[in-house]
Structure 1
Amino acid sequence: MDTASFFIYCTVATFTPGPTNIVLLSTVHHSGARTAMRYAYGATIGFGVLLGLSALLNTILAAYIPAILMGMRLIGSGYMLYLAYRLYNMNAAHSATPHNATFGSGFLMQFLNPKVVLFALTVIPTFFSPNFASSSAVATGVLVITGIGFAAFVAWVLFGSIFRSLLLKHTKRVNIILAGSLAYAAAMIWT
């Protein structure tokens, strides 16, 4: 497994603006860090459950249809390139006003967030299934990815106002760097 590509993909996918991160940012501004952390805890648990379900599904599919791994690698790298394109063309982040930033809403957001769902469906077959046969290695991967996601959520809570102002001031530069990193990670899947 290309560890650098894995960490780049996970970091870019979890730390870049998405529905969960934008709600966290807005919650910090409107309700404070304590409320935002309740939401972040729910989002983390939901993220971990979604990753676990994805790993189970991918393991079952790989056992019955080994050729599917190549297709999942193709989908994973294609999705990464799509994210890179979207990041490159993204304008300033728009904040969403949190209506009910609770543990439960954070948990449910992960199952409704297309960015997270597509990430969960691609990260395991792209990086773990082709390289590790044991379920303990895949479970460790799910825990590591969940930890990276939690770190991203906490970062958005702790530095919400800093990130918001930086994104608004330097949106294009930040997006170009993130898009380039993501495109690099997508290319490294095939080397």
Structure 2
Amino acid sequence: MNLSSFFIYCVIVAFSPGPANIVILASVQNSGMKKTLRYIAGASIAFFLLIVASVVLGQLLTSSMPFILPALRIAGCLFMLYLAYQVYTMDVSKSSGNQTTSFTSGFLMQFLNPKVVLFTLTVIPSYVMPYYTAGPVISAFVVAVSLIGLSAYMTWAVCGSLFQGIMQKYRRTTNTILALFLLYSAIVVSGIPELIKG
């Protein structure tokens, strides 16, 4: 097993902009770090549970993914559109955004985001299980990947906190840009670009 390629893959997927990271950035701006930690807790627990599911169900999940993916794409697209609307309509006159900073919202986002689902359900079976079968070793990889995910969420939150002053000064513009990123993510997740390409 090539550990460096495994960890590089995990870091790139976890830290790259995606719906959960964009919502974290918007939540810090609109609700502050303390309230955003609820969202991060929900997202992190769901991320961990998805990785555990990949270990437990292994090959069954990987082989059934082509059948599950269309429904997951639709549900994920709709949820991201809802979040884009929530971010766009956050009250610019006061800190709000409890709709998007809840534990439940962070938890659900992970189960409805095909990028996260595909990553978490395939990373351990594809990279680790062909080389290791011992429970403690696989458990260590599950914890390592979960910590990479948590560190990515916290990094996005810290960046949001560092730039909170600038983001609040231009809150309406920031909310609009973040909502547009979520809208873009929803379109990509829906599979429409793939249909257009042919």
TM-score scaled by structure 2?
A: 0.62
Residue of structure 2 in register with 1:11 after alignment: 11
Question: Structure 2 unaligned runs (5+)?
Answer: 67-83, 88-96, 167-198
1:139 aligns with 2:139: yes
Q: Distance in 1 between matches of 2:14 and 2:144?
A: 12
Residue type at the aligned position of 2:116 = V
Residue of structure 2 in register with 1:106 after alignment: 106
Contact 2:32 2:161 in 1 (8 A): no
Contact 1:156 1:163 in 2 (8 A): no
Q: Map residues 154-173 of structure 1 onto 2, 5 A cutoff.
A: 154-160=154-160
Q: Distance in 2 between matches of 1:34 and 1:101?
A: 10
Residue of structure 1 in register with 2:170 after alignment: none
SS of match in other structure, 2:132 = coil
Residue type at the aligned position of 2:50 = L
Query: How many percent of aligned residue pairs carry the same amino acid?
Result: 43
Q: Give 1:40 deviation, angstroms.
A: 0.5
Residue of structure 1 in register with 2:41 after alignment: 41
Residue type at the aligned position of 1:112 = L
Q: Distance in 1 between matches of 2:163 and 2:27?
A: 14
Q: Per the alignment, do residues 134 and 128 of structure 1 end up closer, same or farther by CA in structure 2, a change over 3 Å counting?
A: same
Question: Structure 1 unaligned runs (5+)?
Answer: 63-67, 76-93, 166-191
SS of match in other structure, 1:32 = helix
**4+ residue stretches of structure 1 with deviation over 4 A?**
59-62, 161-165
TM-score scaled by structure 1?
A: 0.64
Residue of structure 1 in register with 2:30 after alignment: 30
Residue type at the aligned position of 2:20 = T
Contact 1:39 1:105 in 2 (8 A): yes
Q: Give 1:109 deviation, angstroms.
A: 1.2
Residue of structure 1 in register with 2:129 after alignment: 129
Q: Distance in 2 between matches of 1:24 and 1:144?
A: 21
